[in-house]
A = this chain, B = another copy of it.
Amino acid sequence: MIYYDIEKKENEIWLLQREYNPWFHLKTESAFAQSNGYFGVRAAGGLPSLTGKRGMFVAGLFNCAYEEEVTELVNCPDVTQFRLILDGEEISPDGSKVKQYERKFNIHTGELVISIVFELQSGGEIKVVERRFASMDNRHLFAQCITVSVLTGKGVSGKLITGINGQQTNSGVSHFQKVDCRVYDREIMHTKGYLKEDSLSILEANACDAKTPVFTLKRRGVDAAYAVMVPEGENWTFEKYVYIHKWEDTTKLDEQKAILKDCIHKTYDRVLSVHKEKMLRLWQQAAIRIDGATLEEEASIAFAQYHLLGMMPWNSSSSSIAAKGLTGEGYKGHVFWDTEIFMLPFFQYHFPEAARQLLEFRYRGLEGAKEKAADYGYAGAMYPWEAAASGKEETPLYAALNIHTGKANKVWSGIKEHHVTADIVYAIWQYYSMTGDNTFMDKYGYEMIFQSADFWVSRAEWDEKKQAYVILDIIGPDEYTEHIDNNAYSNYMARYCVALAAMLAGKVKVENPNLYSRLNAEEKRKSWEEFAEKIYLPVPNEEQIIPQDDTFLTKKCLQDIEKYKKAETKQAVLQDYSRDEVVDMQVLKQADTVMLLNLFPQMFSPEVVRKNVLFYESRTIHDSSLSYCAHAQACASVGAMDLAWEFFEKCMVIDLDENPNDTTDGIHAASLGGIWTCVVFGFAGVNYEGEVLHISPRMPAHWKTMNFHIKVKGQNIQLTLSNTEVRLENTGINKEDIIKVEIGGEVYRLKDSLQVIIAERKEGRRA
């Protein structure tokens, strides 16, 4: 169940919280955050609050405060808080009498509107409305508009105080070495905060009918106090425009000031409408229209897409997407395999240039990945489990001390979870297949693939008994199973990576001999070919189950797994069992072999897929937010629609449900990406592989048709799907390439448009 009310107005959907409920502050602040890919601002109300946590995060703005802390995305100075003192009373929803409350969030524009009616101590009633958004038009721009209305009683007067507050910390850890504060022309406030290797400049210009404000320098910030005077029955409006900039270029300060002054000149609604136009253009490319979907479903899917649009560092490859996007301190703002496997597909299908940037970010990290490989005695490039701004491994070596034993557990993911290096290669090839972007491949792609292949070859060892290369002591996607041998997911992915390198070697030799020679490909090609041929791949056993690893099927099951599946808190199993005990049982935190089935939809028979999904799901607690979406997609792909829907329903509301203790430190970016992959890969059954666009709709019964655009080879394809009919239209200008489309086993060629009736439901789209 979605905790929020949902309203649709003029094709825009709003989520609404109509009760003032502080227990939901942290969750709502993440879910309703304003993000434009350059920065994200948590949706904490502007008025002071007893609970909740303000936060502004700028893409790529990381810092390591102390040697013993990890590098983290910096919680930047706050620009959202305002104090309102009227008739001697400091107004706040906690301290004042709230008659009516509404916090609402426009999924399509990202605008946040908080309206509160207060009964003042002096007797009258006022309404305070706060609106804000992060501009997609100028991604340095944050806007806030505050209106105070006198509803009943005499007029009110007092002051409004707001400014830039650099006293924000990441839960008690400060990052800025110093924060310089200025006021230009008694008009524009400016702070410049210095990190160890970066700086952040924030300018703020405000507009209201008050005279010159009183500016006050604070430690690490500056405030302006404005006189407020609202006559009986009237309104008073205050507008704030904030310009946020890394590596401030002082020569451009005047331009920045001019932009803010222009906003003041335009006023809030006009600045908003320019932003909305930009959002509309993004939605035109990304929207998924589902005839028959409920408003809840429509809202959940659009919610996921809003946040995906908001977490993408558009037009920059110097940062990537964090596990919480730009909405909270969770996971320290680090980048995981989530980005390539869960979020990148959305961009690849709708905004391939963005997918390219995300992959370019990994190229920037190649040197770090090579260093990590060398540190561990491997060849090639071994990508970090957690990345920040650089390609360096950021996973801490040790988790926090166990408070009871005083011992610190080693964090093995950074040391042993290696599949990310193949996941990136998988994403590169997916990107190239759909775009044919040879420039990217020449500059970045081949090198990353070859270096990754080198890593995997060095990572494996020869097993005499198996007469195959094996990969020992590894962690697969499932983190409840550590230090295992021949994890199916990892071995298949490694084979994919190395086989791809072997396959591409010939192509590169001809097309890019310099690169071929620089990367010593000739010398390595043989080893890639041999590895690809002789890597041990766990195959389905007699019961058609692919063993997750060499010993998994020999372990005992967790008897009372339902208890933990239903538990209100995540990872409750670790309260009853030690980590070692959990590792020794057939119990999964999240999808592992199931992920493999999803990534290679053409590889296994529908029977194998079905059996494995059911087998592993019954052993999975879904303690990771990456799990439900993976299962929903896998189930849909084999037509297990009841189960698919059951998982999808859980996945849809992961950031919106009635549990106030989840999503508190940021939205679940991968799970939101997973909503999209469920819908497009799972229910629409759309999948581009091997130069063919496969389409095999498996839509829930109540969904009549789906309609969305994807980009293939630079062409813009509009899809209209139902379970019985596929209609395609190439709406782009460039229609030179004919696109091959497979529907129901038949391959068609799309130039302008195509319409196929799916005569009979077969066992699934797998050949």
Contacts and interface: CB of A to CB of B under 8 A. Distances in A.
Interface string A73-117: 000000000000000001010110000000000000000000000
A728 to B, nearest CB: 51
A171 B66 contact: no
B182 A172 contact: no
Contact of A182 (B183, B215, B406): B406
Interface in A173-230: 173-174, 177-178, 180-183, 186, 215, 217-222
B401 A178 contact: no
A48 interface: yes
A171 to B, nearest CB: 4
A400 B217 CA distance: 9
A536 B406 CA distance: 67
B222 A403 contact: yes
Contacts of A95: 22, 50, 94-95
B182 A403 contact: yes
Interface stretch (A162-170, A236-244, A289-297): A162-170
A167 to B, nearest CB: 3
A68 interface: yes
Nearest to A216: B403
A265 B172 CA distance: 34
Contacts of A167: 169, 171-172
Contacts of A222: 403
B403 A94 contact: no
A65 interface: yes
Copies in the complex: 2
A309 B71 CA distance: 44
A376 to B, nearest CB: 26
A186 B405 CA distance: 10
A366 to B, nearest CB: 32
A69 interface: yes
A186 B95 CA distance: 36
B181 A172 contact: no
B220 A178 contact: no
Given A95-B50, A172-B169, A174-B169, A183 B90 contact: no
A401 B173 contact: no
Nearest to A186: B404
B171 A172 contact: no
Contact of A401 (B177, B180, B219): B180
A249 interface: no
Contacts of A174: 65, 169, 172-174
Nearest to A167: B172
A10 interface: no
Contacts of A760: none
A400 B171 contact: no
A314 B178 CA distance: 35
Nearest to A171: B219
A136 to B, nearest CB: 31
B50 A177 contact: no
A178 B67 CA distance: 9
Nearest to A217: B403
Contacts of A169: 167, 169, 172, 174
A59 to B, nearest CB: 23
A463 to B, nearest CB: 42
Contacts of A404: 182-183, 186, 215
Contacts of A50: 48-50, 90, 92, 94-95
Given A66-B177, A67-B177, A95-B22, A401 B172 contact: no
Contacts of A215: 403-404
Contacts of A221: 172
A767 to B, nearest CB: 51
A94 B98 CA distance: 13
Contact of A168 (B48, B66, B172, B403): B172
Contact of A173 (B22, B67, B183, B220): B220
Contacts of A90: 22, 50-51
A401 B181 contact: yes
Interface centre among A68, A92, A172, A186 (most CB of B within 10 A): A172
Interface string A658-676: 0000000000000000000
Given A49-B50, A183-B404, A217-B400, 20 more contacts: A22-B90, A50-B50, A50-B90, A50-B92, A50-B95, A67-B177, A69-B178, A92-B94, A95-B95, A169-B174, A171-B218, A171-B220, A172-B174, A172-B220, A181-B400, A181-B401, A182-B401, A183-B403, A186-B404, A215-B403
- 4 nearest A-B pairs in the assembled complex, by CB-CB distance: A167-B172, A66-B177, A68-B178, A174-B174
6 contacts: A50-B95, A92-B94, A166-B172, A167-B171, A168-B172, A222-B403
